[in-house]
Structure 1
Amino acid sequence: MAIYFWSQFSNDINDDFYKMTDILNCATMLLEIGHSISHNSYHKHSSYLVSNSDMSGFSRGEQQLMSKLILGHVGKLAKVVEIIHNKSSRRALVCIRLASIFARSRIDLKPPKMILLDNEDKFVLNISENWLKSHPLTLFTLEQETKEWKKFNRIFTIKNLTEI
């Protein structure tokens, strides 16, 4: 699902877009590897393993970014503040965080059509208000996400899909 959100930024296609697609795709496949060590703080273990593994095809910098995306896919943004200031990294981070919200506990929520927009300091998630009303835990988590981004002077807004 992270790639679903990421693909919505394809109007900015360049070499960085394709490389970040690879990084994000690998991060989504590896983000739960830490469960083999401990269920608690698995994202920290996953991040550590990715950060300290030999991964052909990725530079050390790309590997560190992948590690940060994994670390930041849940919880507070403060632990990955250094990647929030880069447009491409910030976009990848919001995509992986949204994917983790909608894939919570592996329950098939059958999410509706969603459109994610980025206007520099503002992310807008367009989603059906009716769907959110029938999924209050997801709505609550998205509202928490709004508060988390606000701590870093970034706006994350939820709009009814019919408003666009």
Structure 2
Amino acid sequence: MQRYHIDSKHAYRIEATALILLAQVKDAWQLNDPEFHDMLCWSARTHEIGLTISHNRYHRHSAYLLQHCDLAGFSHLEQQMLAFLAKGHRRKLPKDEYKTLPDEKRDAYLRLCLLLRLAVIFHRSRSKARLPAFSLQVDGNKLHLSFPSGWLDHHPLTCADLENESEFLKSMDYKLKVD
């Protein structure tokens, strides 16, 4: 984070939100293993390292750096997983990288990626303002995200980003409902 001049306060806000989302779905999605908690934290902290190289497609630069840098304490496979989460945190989901993940890890890491994506959307404005109490419920590949009444009306850009996200998730056979 220091080497690539990460906005650590922003990264920690995303991490905290991602962990709230994880707490709400970990039983339903079988994400109780501490590995998933740790990888979600590390990906939230490092998903923007590619901004040092370029703002354009920075998620790809982040993935490249995470996969190819010497990261003490991380195996090659762990770096591959972090790179997948970083690359997948915005825009189209990286289907090619998804296919290279070990079979037994694919579903879990795709779901972690979805949680990171939502956390990034919630903090799209980089505002320090507190988020409202939100609820994420899942049933297999169906996600239901709820906000307090009227909140989305007062945050139209977040609402628009969530509508776009719904379209991106369809490519991986996930359905997002927001109200």
Q: Take 1:143 and 1:13, find their aligned partners in 2: how far apart are those partners?
A: 23
Match of 1:50 in 2: 66
d(CA) in 1 for partners of 2:29 and 2:149?
A: 30
Long gaps (5+) in structure 2:
1-16
1:96 paired residue among 97, 112, 116: 116
CA distance in 1 between partners of 2:68 and 2:172 (Å)? 28
Match of 2:144?
A: 124
Structure 1 stretch displaced more, 101-110 or 111-120: 101-110
In structure 2, what residue type is equivalent to 1:100?
V
User: Identity across aligned pairs (percent)?
Assistant: 34
Tell me, what secondary structure is at the counterpart of 2:71? coil
1:6 aligns with 2:16: no
TM-score by length of 2: 0.78
Q: Partners of 2:80 and 2:106 in 1: how far apart?
A: 14
Whether the aligned pair in 2 keeps the contact of 1:87 and 1:120 (CA below 8 Å) is: no
- Structure with bigger helix share is 1
**For residues 34-49 of structure 1, what are the structure 2 equivalents within 5 Å?**
34-49=50-65
Cα distance in 2 for residues equivalent to 1:105 and 1:131:
15
Q: Which residue of 1 aligns with 2:87?
A: 71
C-alpha displacement at 1:15, in angstroms?
Answer: 8.4
How many residues align? The count is 158
1:107-137 superposed Cα distances (whole Å, 9 cap, x missing partner): 2343211111221111111222410000000
Cα offset for 1:10? 3.7
Aligned equivalents of 1:14, 1:150: Cα separation in 2: 21
TM-score w.r.t. the length of structure 1 is 0.85
Letter in 1 for 2:158: T
Asked if the contact 1:102–1:109 (Cα under 8 Å) also holds between the matched residues in 2, the reply is no
2: distance between equivalents of 1:102 and 1:15?
A: 21
Residue 173 of structure 2 corresponds to residue 157 of structure 1: no
